[in-house]
Amino acid sequence: MYKVTLIPGDGIGPEISEATKRVLEATGISFQWDIQNAGEDVYKEEGSPLPNRVIESIKKNKVAIKGPITTPVGTGFRSVNVALRQTLDLYCCLRPCKSYQGARTRYENIDLIIVRENTEDLYAGIEYQKNSSGAKSVIKLVEDTLGKKIREDSGISIKPISVYGTERIVRFAFEYARRNQRCKVTAVHKANIMKYSDGLFLEVSREVAKNYPDIEFEDRIIDNMCMQLVQKPELYDVIVLPNLYGDIVSDLVAGLIGGLGLAPGANLGDEFAVFEPTHGSAPKYKGLNKTNPMAMMLSGVMMLRHIGEVSTAERLDSVIAEVIKEGKSVTYDMKPVSDDPTAATTSDVADAIIARLR
């Protein structure tokens, strides 16, 4: 019996979480779910979108699976997802993206691993609001120390990238490559422009790479990387990126394999692991039983591997692959047109997978 924290999330989160929970239970592995709500409704009821009970539950169980949680745009509370990663020091966001036969996409045989740094960079949440005393101090400091002028009506976000944070994420990428018989690690940056943050990321990546002579290492500038991934994705293998580029490139790579409905992920630290799909809460589809639960189910496959249930993970992955290949019990996003009347519902997908697991 595995004790796992289950955070259903909001928007489409509860629907895809329920479908995922049913499928994981149907594998025959037994779970004791500690269901912990977080997000906007919890904020209204409990005064915090991420109450301490959620963190305590993950600390106790060490493993969690979560649905997406909405972050208000521009104003309102800060991202629960980012807070979870920072509080539990889940420094690595691992997002494997591989082609499934039958998925509608322009590409074949994609097999890429995104390793995104998860705690630093512009995602650190270090910001100064326009006209605040903090913003004024930073503007003055920049003028005094660099002689550069920032307009006084500016909002300011700070981009910290440390040696410590970079070393551990790049090491993770190389260790992952070694453990999984991968040949190459590509570090992505914009070191030509941001010499002290991305420049540091590149320099530390090169240093770490020296410890792994068995694995090829190269680097790419982020803009070039985006173009190369669209034109020649087969040239890449494990890709390690600072937080913001990792966020953007994860969605790009999801697009190569047929969309966000198929892109799973894991937030990993030395002590805790939180599995969640790459996609967000898609609020416009909330409650419609319409969206694709496979990205969350595939995050469940990653969780099964993590807890050591490797053969069950492989079995669930191949059953999901069969359902995709057959093309009958798949949601609207995997159909040629999004209003296809034959599209399956979220719960239909779970039923089809469960039927094959029996």
Q: Which residues are catalytic?
A: 123, 190, 223, 247
Residues in contact with ligand NAD, shown as a per-residue x/- string from 297 to 336 under the rule CB under 6 A: ------------------------------------x---
Among the candidate windows 69-77, 115-123, 154-162, 301-309, which touches ligand NAD by CB under 6 A? 69-77
Residue nearer to ligand NAD on the CB measure, 68 or 233: 68
Q: How far is the CB of 351 from ligand NAD (least distance, A)?
A: 17
CA quadruple 5, 57, 121, 209: dihedral positive or negative? negative
Residue selected from 36, 118, 292, 312 as contacting ligand NAD according to rule CB under 6 A: 292
Q: How big is the site for ligand NAD, counted in residues (CB under 6 A)?
A: 17
Binding mask 240-279 for ligand NAD (x = CB under 6 A): --------------------xx--------------x--x
**291 forms part of the interface with ligand NAD (CB under 6 A):** yes
CB of 232 to ligand NAD, least distance (A): 25
Our finding on whether 20 is near ligand NAD (CB under 6 A) is: no
20, 70, 197, 243: which one binds ligand NAD (CB under 6 A): 70
Q: Which of 343, 349, 353 is nearest to 316 (CA)?
A: 353
> Least Å distance between CB 43 and ligand NAD?
13
> Which one among 5, 17, 61, 81 touches ligand NAD, defined by CB under 6 A?
81
Dihedral sign from CA coordinates of 113, 114, 119, 120: positive
- Residue numbers of the site for ligand NAD (CB under 6 A)? 68-71, 81, 260-261, 276, 279-283, 291-292, 295, 333
